[in-house]
Structure 1
Amino acid sequence: MTSTATHLRTIALHWTDLHEAAGQPVTVGAFGLGLRGYLARLDAADRDEYGYDRNHAAHLRSQERDPLQLGERPVPVRLHILDTMRAVEAALVHCADDIAQAVQRAPIAGPTARRTAVAPYATQREADIAAADRARRTQLAHADLVDPRRWRYTGRRTASHAALWLLARIERKPGPCRRLTADEERRIGTVAAGAAARVERALDIAAQQRTLSTPCPDCGGAVDVHGGEGRVPVAHCMGCGRIWTEGGVIAA
């Protein structure tokens, strides 16, 4: 069974590949691009399988199109890649937000100034020691506030950064966070598995096999589809043994 850490590394390592693939022409042979009639429902089925809707539903409204964008405009060459990137990023960032809210401690508070008019220092040496201590505590508070290991709710909120931050939590790396509970690890695992599967399918870098909900049009038997890893997708009826590619029946 693939680990959560492996899923998160897959996302982080291939995020740049997705950016590059979004501007590339469609590659014939990618799993899910052929056999259009059979594969039309796979995306919705996969979201249900991995619990995807539960993990990024809160972000869907933020992904709605701005009314100013309505109308005719150029369409990206590989829109399904961009859709994958938006869905994966929304799910990972939302997951990181929730996990950080639960496990990340608040920044260290800085020192307060002493009201010397009310409580004056006895000697200049005492005043100098107190000033040095305040400067040290101020520096520590600032360092904790800007700690790069701290998850932030503004600024750098990309899928790759969220994946690496969640990976650090899974691997119990040092940082301003407590240890994850079993439920929190399972939550991250669910999101990571769904996101990695989407990335792999979009880039066609993993072998895929699905049993389709649509039966064989000839005998009504179950149809398995095999593809991925650059191979042309092939559908095989488990009942009558018929085999299809996008070009048509190749065996009966």
Structure 2
Amino acid sequence: MNHTARTTRTASEDLRVVVEHWEHLRSLLDSATPDVWPPLRPGAEYLRTLDEHDAAEVAAGRHGQQLVTTRHESGQLYYACAHCDRVGEGHEHPVRDDRGPGQLAELPAPLRLHVADAIRTVEFVLASLADEIAGDVQRAAVAAPRRPGTGDTIADSLVLIAAVDAADPQRWHYTMGDRSAPRAAQWLLDRLADRPGPCRSINDAHRERITRIAREAARRVERTIGADRRSVELTRPCPWCGGALIMHTGSDVDTVVSCATGLVDCSAPASFNVDMRRREWGTPEQLAALYVALDAAEKRKVEADRRAQRAEARRRQRAAARGNAAA
């Protein structure tokens, strides 16, 4: 059975990437925030615990010692703590009253500028795209009377209709209201699905523009949170032909391992991807069988190296023996 992963997504899928991963992206703004995607790597939990410990120490009026070299007016060098000018052990230094909030270890974790840039860029391009599409297909909002007369049923009805029209979730607002990236992405999704509302159907040119910009927005989000598609060469070669094994991963595709050698020169019992011209292991059963074969090939290699070492040792012994006999 051929398990071929799609290499392209639809515009709707790209927009859903923005909607579903926006909170993961925003959680990366603060470098101490643990709620990121993909999950934390081994060891990151330990580092986060240290950060929390340091924050607790500062909150309790203590801080870790950080020695710096200071030159006295006389020219003599001496050491002092960077936070309180004292020298001593551990987390027992009281924070001095004359230290302002701008001192080291008293500031919140810095913002990650590349994350802030990604948020600003994606939000701007999607909101601008929604402005452009809405300008073409969205009808004007119902205008309420400026001075509704008391008891005027027609004016009262117009006020109600205008309020309902303004609150319609299918209406895009150019200035006021929610203009976030998820809101813009969801509004564009509704246009692609031709949901009923105060809008005409979009045309092919609109769809092409949404597709192009949604693709770039999704890539920017995934690249920033570390969930983009990647291809990494494994350290061990193919057990059947010795070719390079490549692992392909991503947030929207299943993990696939392929052999770079191809069909003709590789005899691996794996599925053949006709489009990519490569053998692939894609299902959990296939991947498990591949790693079993890799372990077996490594054991064979280790045993072959040992036999070669023993044969070389015996050869040297025989050569030494012949040398002794000749002497």
Question: Is residue 10 of structure 1 aligned with residue 17 of structure 2?
Answer: yes
CA deviations over 1:108-161 (Å, ceiling 9, x no partner): 24469899xxxxxxxxxxxx8xx4344223311231133232111223211111
- Partner of 1:250 in structure 2? none
Cα 1:136–1:189 change in 2 (3 A) is same
| Residue pair 1:25, 1:78 contacting (<8 A) in 2 also | no
**Does the 8 A contact of 1:104 with 1:176 survive in 2?**
yes
Deviations 1:63-105 (A, max 9, x none): xxxxxxxxxx999453221211111111111111111111110
Does 2:31 correspond to 1:24? Answer: yes
Does residue 93 (structure 1) correspond to residue 127 (structure 2)? The answer is yes
* Partner of residue 112, structure 2: 78
Candidates 166, 169, 183, aligned match of 2:188? 166
User: Are 2:172 and 1:151 equivalent residues in the alignment?
Assistant: yes
Q: How many residues align?
A: 160
Any idea what SS the aligned residue of 2:121 has? helix
In 2: Cα distance, 1:77 partner to 1:132 partner:
54
TM-score by length of 1: 0.54
Confirm or deny that 1:177 pairs with 2:211.
no
What is the letter of the counterpart of residue 100 of structure 1?
A
State whether residues 207 and 226 of structure 1, in contact with CA within 8 Å, keep that contact through their aligned partners in structure 2: no
Matched, 1:105 2:126: no
* Whole-angstrom CA distance in 2 between matches of 1:137 and 1:26: 48
Counterpart code for 1:6: E
Contact 1:204/1:229, CA 8 A, preserved across alignment: no
Conserved? CA contact 1:107–1:145, under 8 Å? yes
Note if contact 2:32-2:109 (Cα within 8 Å) is conserved in structure 1.
Answer: no
Pairs within 5 Å for 1:196-215: 196-209=218-231
Amino acid of the structure 1 residue aligned with 2:29: A
| Bigger fraction of residues in helix | 1
Tell me the TM-score normalised to structure 2 length: 0.42
* In structure 2, distance between residues paired with 1:206 and 1:194: 12
Q: Deviations over 1:167-226 (max 9, x none)?
A: 11111112111100100011111110000011111111232359xxxxxxxxxxxxxx98
Higher RCO by CA contacts (8 Å cutoff, separation 6 or greater): 1
* Identity across the alignment (%): 35
Q: Please list every run of 5 or more consecutive structure 1 residues that lacks an aligned counterpart in the other structure.
A: 31-72, 116-127, 211-224, 231-252
What is the RMSD of the two structures over their aligned residues, measured on CA atoms? 3.6
